[in-house]
Amino acid sequence: MNCSARRTLHDDLGEFDWNRLRVFRVAVDAGSFTRAGTLLGLSQSAVSRQIAGLEASLKISLFHRGAQGLALTEAGEIFHSTVTSMFERLAMGLTRMDDFRGAASGPLRIATAVVFGSSWLTSKMSKFRREFPDISPTLLLSDNIELDLSTRQADVAIRFFNQTQPNLIQRHLMTLPFRVYASREYTERKGLPTTVADLDAHDLIAYGDYLPAHVHDLDWLVKVGMPADHPRPAVLRASSVYAILRAVKSGQGLGLLPAYLQEDLHDLVEVLQDAGKPVVEAFLVYPEEVRRSRRIEALTRFLMSEARADFRAPREASA
């Protein structure tokens, strides 16, 4: 009986669809089939069929399905741990293959936030591909789900807070300044603030209440120089950088915007240039096992060079 059971398990393992394992990993991280489908580019029903097929091959249920989302069964927890370990070992083996290749080449998946990725990072990809034509970059942009680098959901990430996982390497990439902008139409109508105190007489556009926990002081316009319990009123609040940008461009008021938007800021007027405004630190993050990957090395050198050129300190710019 035991021999028969072992033979059946071996046969099932040989017939596993590896894509189902990948869908399973993403579904666990996403917490629902719908969100997993969004990440994978599949419909919710396609994800559900993949999971059902996996459960049928294992002859066991992996998820509790409820109105609040997915929860792993006890068997699912064990299987998830096994699959995670398997993917980590596979990722390590695949990465070590880079050491046997010549020039940097192959796919490179870069995860980061939506606004930063769709503005500054995207604008750099043309130059990156010219310098490294054998690397094929893919940008994975999300503000809500942090992709798991250890299981190769992405190869490298640009993140805006210190990492705590011991198996991740973190390198400081750049300091991203935020600056205060207004449209020309607004400045002609309301004038230019020359001191922080002048903000009391201006229309201010502020960020909403749903910013990530690691982002600090982005409500600087309404808080600077004011009592902690009595900020200035805002004419508009939004939790999106692009919404703030559109509001500023349409002349609704002053807004605090990241300098990495670059091309989108050319027709705006920067104000209060001497005031100490917030900055956000950006870090390049990747697993320990890919530290010798030629693709990672190429991207690291390239992004650090571009960041120095775009966001160098004022004293360096005038030297």
Per-residue pLDDT averaged across 200-223, rounded?
80
Q: 97 pLDDT exceeds 80?
A: no
Q: What is the rounded distance in angstroms from the CA atom of residue 288 to the CA atom of residue 260?
A: 28
Could you read off the pLDDT of 241-300 as tens digits, one per residue?
A: 899 999 999 999 999 999 888 788 889 999 988 878 888 889 999 888 777 788 888 998
- If you search the block for the tokens 């919404």, which residue do you land on? 243
- 56 neighbors 17 (Cβ within 8 angstroms): no
Q: Which CATH architecture has domain 2-96?
A: Orthogonal Bundle (1.10)
- CATH fold of 103-173+282-317 reads D-Maltodextrin-Binding Protein; domain 2 (3.40.190)
* Percent of the chain's residues with pLDDT above 90: 31
Determine the average pLDDT of the residues in 79-101.
Answer: 71
Q: What is the pLDDT of residue 5?
A: 43
pLDDT band at 145 (very low <50, low <70, confident <90, very high): low
Q: Where in the chain is the domain with CATH 3.40.190.290?
A: 176-280
201 pLDDT tier (thresholds 50, 70, 90): very high
Q: What is the CATH number of domain 176-280?
A: 3.40.190.290
Whole-model pTM? 0.63
Confidence band for 213, pLDDT divided at 50, 70 and 90: low
pLDDT score at 257: 92
Q: Where in the chain is the domain with CATH 3.40.190.10?
A: 103-173+282-317
| Residue-wise burial string across 47-60, b where 16 or more C-beta atoms lie within 10 A, e elsewhere | bbebbeebbeeeee
Q: To the nearest whole percent, how much of the chain has pLDDT over 70?
A: 83
Q: What is the mean pLDDT of residues 7-17?
A: 52
pLDDT score at 279? 85
Residue from 78, 77, 54, 24 nearest 33 by CA: 24
Q: Are 303 and 124 in contact (CB under 8 A)?
A: yes
Distance CA 64, CA 269 (A): 54
Q: For residue range 147-173, what is the model confidence (pLDDT) as tens digits?
A: 667 667 788 899 887 776 778 888 888
Q: What angle do CA 269, 273, 276 make, to 5 degrees?
A: 135
Pinpoint the residues of the chain covered by CATH 1.10.10.10: 2-96
> What is the structure's pLDDT at 316?
35
